Amino acid sequence: MGDCEEGVLSKVVLLSGARGVVGQPLWEEFERRKCRVVPVSRSVVDSSAGIKWDMEHEDFLPIEGIAREGSTPIDTMVHCAPIWLLPRHLPSLAHHGLRRLIVFSSSSVLSKKNTQDLAEQELVRLLDDGEKNTASQCDQLGIAFTIFRP
């Protein structure tokens, strides 16, 4: 595969969970392909282009880290952080141009649905609520979305 397609080059991809097990390789691949990616992590991001955002405890996206001179709106987001953290932030992201969302959940939402383990029950509840709330918000805001369940 080559570089980002020309249409993609004019867009900004916001990558949340950029330091995680899924996000880090995606970040590296976006950069290898010369895509306009803004990595976001709750810990310090080792890039001048990245921003620190603790989605669980901070109510606002530090948009000044993205809205630099000459930048375009956030068109696409790849969300690799926990899905249940995302829904409350979608209205603000839509306001800043978000039109396409790719989000990772887990097949545990189905495979562990009848588990007796209390911790797994809580995880299933968080995943299920996160998926439903993400879908509902996206439908209301006109954001096209895909949920992956690896």
Task: Please give the pLDDT value at position 69.
Answer: 41
Residue 16 is part of which domain span?
Answer: 6-148
- Residue 4 or residue 64, greater confidence: 4
In a domain, 54, yes or no: yes
The predicted-structure confidence for 94-149, as pLDDT tens digits, reads as follows 988 899 999 999 999 999 999 999 999 999 999 999 999 999 999 999 999 999 99
In a domain, 86, yes or no: yes
In a domain, 1, yes or no: no
Please count the structural domains in the chain: 1
The span from the CA of 93 to the CA of 107, in Å, is 26
CATH number reported for the structural domain that contains residue 70 in this entry:
3.40.50.720
109 within domain boundaries: yes
Q: Dump pLDDT digits (tens) for 60-90.
A: 666 655 555 445 677 899 999 999 999 999 9
Report yes or no: 83 and 21 within 8 Å, Cβ to Cβ. no
Alpha carbon distance 84, 129 (integer Å): 7
> pLDDT digit string (tens) for 6-19?
555 567 788 999 88
Phi, psi of 143 (to 5 degrees): -100, 125
Query: What's the pLDDT tens digit per position in 24-55?
Result: 999 999 889 888 888 888 776 555 556 667 67
SS3 readout for 58-81: CCCCCHHHCCCCCCCCEEEEEECC
- Answer yes or no: is 137 within a domain: yes
pTM, two decimals, is 0.84
pLDDT at 47: 52
Three-class secondary structure of residue 120 per DSSP: helix
Task: Supply the pLDDT for residue 119.
Answer: 96
